Amino acid sequence: MFFWPRGLLTRACAGFTTQQNMDSVFLEHAVRSSLVDFLERRVQCVLRDGAILIGNLISFDQFYNLVLARAVKRIVVDKQFAEEPVGLYIVRGENVATLSELSVDRDDHVQTLLKRISMKRIRQAQEAKALQAHSRSGRRPTSIADQE
């Protein structure tokens, strides 16, 4: 937690007339200071669409846009997973749902709970699960591949 020295807070916020403007300054500082702690560390980023990215956080900006180096996209279906290397990856801040540091112990624990399989098999498992979900809902799949 960051604490402002006495008197500095008053001078820093002197130009703001409303509490809302002051709150935005505090929020921006809190986001920036917390992301600095993650720089050059292995992080797991979960996006709004459920995609999981794992990589080294090398940069960010005030909009929460992230740059991940040596990134992989982890695809999980039931108790199976695969990792697809994507290299340098830029994530738009509005798509970030969560960001957490990924320790080696935690990642090893996850890998003991899940079975690693090939990308080909994980894609087949994804398609089977999507087809099963569509058959339960009574709707026909609408993708182009399913219409052929």
pLDDT score of 12: 47
Burial of 112: CB neighbours in 10 Å, binned 0-12, 13-18, 19+: exposed
- Per-residue pLDDT band for 141 (boundaries 50, 70, 90) equals low
Pairing of strands 80-91, 96-101: unpaired
User: Is-contact 56 68, C-beta < 8 A?
Assistant: yes
Q: What DSSP state is assigned to residue 40? A: T
Report in angstroms the alpha-carbon separations of 58 from 30, 40, 66, 119, 139. Answer: 19, 5, 8, 27, 44
Q: What DSSP state is assigned to residue 2? A: -
Alpha-carbon distance 70 to 76, whole Å? Answer: 19
Average pLDDT, the chain: 80
Q: Which two tokens stand for residue 6?
A: 């006495």
Residue 77: CB atoms within 10 A of its CB come to 19
For 30-64, how does the pLDDT look when each residue is reduced to its tens digit (9 = 90+)? 555 588 889 999 999 999 999 999 999 999 998 99
The structural domains of the chain, ordered by start, are: 1-37 (no CATH), 41-138 (2.30.30.100)
